[in-house]
Chain A
């Protein structure tokens, strides 16, 4: 063992450049994994430490309607410190600028948050705004509309002075503010807005900080759950909130880990290629060692030891780099995080990085290392005998491939935490690597078979270089192709998702939706809309109701008896249904028959049910269903199943009644319109909010811009992770070019000797790299189109219309990068003195 260590050290002295490349291949993959895992661990610790501030209380009791006496008595019995909140969405207007915006209004009592800090500017505003009967306004709104403290905000029928801007709400990320900016007002002021009428979507919450800070929350929630359930109320605890966030962020870090893992695998291929060539160059040394009495295990041990220590050293450097990068990640995620992160080095992440880096280095080099077994000592006498002996694929080689596959699968399953997801990811990796390898092989075979003999010498030589002995074509196609695949897939998916949202911006598509229009406001609002030159595209009555019985059984009894699967949201949610005599565009009857109008003598009321919900509730045509329509029971039969295109920008419904049933029920209306000009839209919104303060205006263009913004933030993170794969790909590419550098020098010197000009030699190299770049990138891009199509079809269930602009840009950029890397690493090849090279 001592001799093996000594020989491993001695043997490494003459190969510094190659070994630096070897290290670099591993470094970035390990760095990515350590950074992500360490960050994940910091995030977990932060969430543990700041768990209570995620909710701002120990417990929240929630309801969609004012609590009844039973629930109120229960809340009183819990005791502790309590803070009540009325939460609803509403349009607000800023009188100074006349701008309007849909916000989440939180009318809240003193006390909240019991844990964590409501950060405002000025800081005193967080506690003073109630006394001043003022409002706290989200900082994004303040910035967007150029507002300052002491400007005003109008909510419903009340105008509030702005007491401060909200910097941070415990448990909420900045991105949450982008989706629905928050405005705090005093709890008692909610009623004065006159927005809490019947049919409005209002949440009633009570934040509770228990007297006994160490009380058993689980036990408490178990005791209150039945009462809350039976009275259509619910609760949220710190643990539940934390679990939800844990799941979200663990999914995110797992995804990023998998992207980082791809960089490490790419590095593994680079290492394997580098060791393959290294061993080829060491054939004579190994033969000499065998000749003077070294056993196969001993020579194998020398190079295995080198790989082990290099892998370990690369992993250590990767860990150091990863720890550095870890400090960048919170900045990258800052807008998405609900907690403040403190930095600490995670030794588990470092250990995992060392293990993975060294493991990948060892696993991927086992195959080229095994070829040492077939190097005969006879090579010392006859260099032509068994010239390589390196391509024997015995059972050990197969075992190595099996180990690599098992390693990839184990990591994927570990990261995704699910066998099928892990298998899917691993299968994707194998498919991508396999197809890239296959395309490289096909390229080499096609070039050999259909070699363009009529082309000029320079072109023929450039092409022939792709399949000459010791070529690095496969390694290069893998590294370049995988890089192109990753970048392109990320762009395509982002564009795909944006295109879906973009569809709503198409011509004649609605871009403004007006909610909560009362019966007596309908005509006036219609006139207002038309006065701005906008059409009333759709006008829909909405009746809120709850599903109460199926086939005569209450939902509670069905849920308790577990006869039918009743999802929680169906049970607790107040549903918005409509009545009409025709199907909407995008709807299709897939079962039963559509009935548009109803008269009492027709018997049972035929109700149309959305297909997916019907399947969930296991409903059949003719089943009896009963609704509680704001206190009045209305029952009917399932008349038809509808397929609904939820992506259609229009009010879509689960339950649709025929005309003649719900006309007299308390209802509100939704009006859908379209305005071309932003100024017109803003003016229309202002006019509506001023005259009809209870009406909410949803600006789809604004939502689109917000989604665009969020997707950009998310894709920025993903691209950051993809960067590791790209850097590793470039290193592998550099390694592959440098590996064949000596051969290139020899060739170019030979060419120079027999009269080739510098320009011709350069042209040969450009042609070679150009072909490599184009073919590898094209293969990666074709794979990315297939992968995106599969994601679109199977995961997002949307049509995939490829955007070829990013594909074309990636093709050009990757090809240019390949040619430049190739040429940069071939610098000086032509200038090398001839005689020395030819004598070597």
Chain B
């Protein structure tokens, strides 16, 4: 029996106003993702990948359609309720790392837990940073870290609240090949360890093939939905 769907997308459409015209970036997209699975969203620039990711994570509201994340229909929620869902169920890894520059590595990782009032955030964050190889750089600020290190901090932050689902947006896009590979390995390692569902937007087909499923977008529609045989 397959795992129940953690993410259900129904007839999702997103239209932006562009001057006098409407621009349909996502057009009637439907799919679902099973809990614990891994999935890549690929497609050319402007195909709607990032828009789809933002809607799935509750960062934006669709024009039409619904997103059900971990059993919660996001469209029914206001901004603060969606923030709460993200805090409890979602982790993020961005292409540009998106660390808070005024916080140290440790403090950046602690934020999601602290928002919940967790008093042990510091210990958990330190151990997670140690796990991603940054045990000696806990008190460094983002500007004092390399790109790879910053992405590892972002990864630690994404996993600190044990999310049900991890959204990655071009996680290796700003890294050189070798560092990118190390970060990729770390994502999959942590994902597997925490049994987290992984949704990854990428241009990198090699990286996409590391996930069990690839959704190909084109012109705002799902062009293909492929299962991948993972060999490694």
- Rounded to whole Å, the gap between the CB of B166 and the closest CB of chain A is 12
B83 near A15 with CB under 8 A, answer no
A292 near B101 with CB under 8 A, answer no
Of B92-100, B178-186, B192-200, the one touching chain A: B92-100
Q: Select one of A7, A291, A381 contacting B50, CB under 8 A.
A: A381
Does A758 sit at the interface, judged by CB under 8 A? no
- Rounded to whole Å, the gap between the CB of B200 and the closest CB of chain A is 13
Give Cα A12 to B101, complex, Å: 11
A285 near B84 with CB under 8 A, answer no
Does A393 sit at the interface, judged by CB under 8 A? no
Q: Helix, strand, loop or mixed for chain A's interface?
A: helix
Does A693 sit at the interface, judged by CB under 8 A? no
Q: Select one of A2, A289, A296 contacting B111, CB under 8 A.
A: A289
A293 near B87 with CB under 8 A, answer yes
- Rounded to whole Å, the gap between the CB of B64 and the closest CB of chain A is 18
Residues on A with beta carbons closer than 8 Å to the beta carbon of B102: 10-15, 285
Supposing A285-B102, A292-B157 touch, asked if A381 and B54 sit within 8 A by C-beta, the answer is yes
Question: Binary interface profile of A, 285-326, with partner B (CB < 8 Å = 1, else 0)?
Answer: 100111111111110000000000000000000000000000
Q: Select one of B50, B54, B115 contacting A292, CB under 8 A.
A: B115
Question: Binary interface profile of B, 131-174, with partner A (CB < 8 Å = 1, else 0)?
Answer: 00000000001000000000000000100010000000100000
- Rounded to whole Å, the gap between the CB of B55 and the closest CB of chain A is 10
B115 near A10 with CB under 8 A, answer no
B59 near A293 with CB under 8 A, answer no
A3 near B115 with CB under 8 A, answer yes
What is the chain A residue whose CB lies nearest that of B119?
A2
What is the chain A residue whose CB lies nearest that of B112?
A292
A292 near B111 with CB under 8 A, answer yes
What is the chain A residue whose CB lies nearest that of B169?
A381
Does A201 sit at the interface, judged by CB under 8 A? no
A3 near B117 with CB under 8 A, answer yes
Of A89-97, A372-380, A744-752, A783-791, the one touching chain B: A372-380
What is the chain B residue whose CB lies nearest that of A3?
B114
B94 near A380 with CB under 8 A, answer yes
- Rounded to whole Å, the gap between the CB of A370 and the closest CB of chain B is 15
Q: Select one of B80, B83, B114, B141 contacting A6, CB under 8 A.
A: B114
Does A214 sit at the interface, judged by CB under 8 A? no
Q: Select one of A12, A293, A297 contacting B88, CB under 8 A.
A: A293
List B33-67 residues whose CB lies under 8 Å from chain A: 50, 53-54, 59-60
B79 near A288 with CB under 8 A, answer no
A378 near B54 with CB under 8 A, answer yes
- Rounded to whole Å, the gap between the CB of B4 and the closest CB of chain A is 24
Does B86 sit at the interface, judged by CB under 8 A? yes
A382 near B50 with CB under 8 A, answer yes
Supposing A14-B102, A381-B59 touch, asked if A292 and B79 sit within 8 A by C-beta, the answer is no
Give Cα A505 to B107, complex, Å: 76
B94 near A290 with CB under 8 A, answer no
Question: Binary interface profile of A, 1-39, with partner B (CB < 8 Å = 1, else 0)?
Answer: 011001100111111000000000000000000000000
A293 near B117 with CB under 8 A, answer no
- Rounded to whole Å, the gap between the CB of A18 and the closest CB of chain B is 12
Give Cα A693 to B159, complex, Å: 104
Give Cα A3 to B112, complex, Å: 11
- Rounded to whole Å, the gap between the CB of A551 and the closest CB of chain B is 80
Does A821 sit at the interface, judged by CB under 8 A? no
Does B5 sit at the interface, judged by CB under 8 A? no
Q: Select one of A14, A295, A296, A297 contacting B101, CB under 8 A.
A: A14
Most buried by B among A13, A289, A291, A380: A291
Supposing A10-B107, A288-B98, A296-B80 touch, asked if A381 and B53 sit within 8 A by C-beta, the answer is yes
Give Cα A285 to B142, complex, Å: 13
Does B103 sit at the interface, judged by CB under 8 A? yes
B101 near A376 with CB under 8 A, answer no
A285 near B101 with CB under 8 A, answer yes
What is the chain A residue whose CB lies nearest that of B111?
A292
Give Cα A292 to B98, complex, Å: 11
Residues on B with beta carbons closer than 8 Å to the beta carbon of A14: 101-102, 141
Does A284 sit at the interface, judged by CB under 8 A? yes
Give Cα A545 to B160, complex, Å: 98
A292 near B87 with CB under 8 A, answer yes
Question: Binary interface profile of B, 69-110, with partner A (CB < 8 Å = 1, else 0)?
Answer: 000000000011001101110001010001111110001000
Give Cα A11 to B111, complex, Å: 12
Residues on B with beta carbons closer than 8 Å to the beta carbon of A382: 50, 54
What is the chain A residue whose CB lies nearest that of B50?
A381
- Rounded to whole Å, the gap between the CB of B14 and the closest CB of chain A is 11
Residues on A with beta carbons closer than 8 Å to the beta carbon of B169: 381
Residues on A with beta carbons closer than 8 Å to the beta carbon of B112: 292-293
Question: Binary interface profile of A, 81-117, with partner B (CB < 8 Å = 1, else 0)?
Answer: 0000000000000000000000000000000000000
Give Cα A796 to B138, complex, Å: 70
Residues on B with beta carbons closer than 8 Å to the beta carbon of A376: 59-60
Question: Binary interface profile of A, 268-291, with partner B (CB < 8 Å = 1, else 0)?
Answer: 000000000000000011001111
Residues on A with beta carbons closer than 8 Å to the beta carbon of B114: 3, 6
Give Cα A7 to B111, complex, Å: 9
Residues on A with beta carbons closer than 8 Å to the beta carbon of B60: 376, 378
Give Cα A290 to B59, complex, Å: 9
16 A-B contacts (beta carbon < 8 Å) = A3-B117, A6-B114, A10-B102, A11-B102, A14-B101, A284-B98, A285-B102, A292-B87, A292-B92, A293-B83, A293-B115, A294-B87, A294-B111, A296-B83, A297-B80, A381-B59
Instruction: Give me the 10 closest cross-chain CB pairs, A-B, nearest first.
Output: A293-B87, A14-B102, A295-B80, A378-B59, A377-B59, A292-B112, A3-B114, A285-B100, A293-B86, A293-B83
A interface, CB within 8 angstroms of B: 2-3, 6-7, 10-15, 284-285, 288-298, 376-378, 380-382
Given contacts A10-B103, A290-B79, A380-B92, 20 further A-B contacts (CB under 8 A): A10-B102, A10-B107, A14-B141, A288-B98, A288-B100, A289-B111, A291-B86, A292-B112, A293-B84, A293-B87, A293-B88, A293-B112, A294-B115, A297-B80, A298-B115, A376-B59, A378-B59, A381-B54, A381-B59, A381-B169
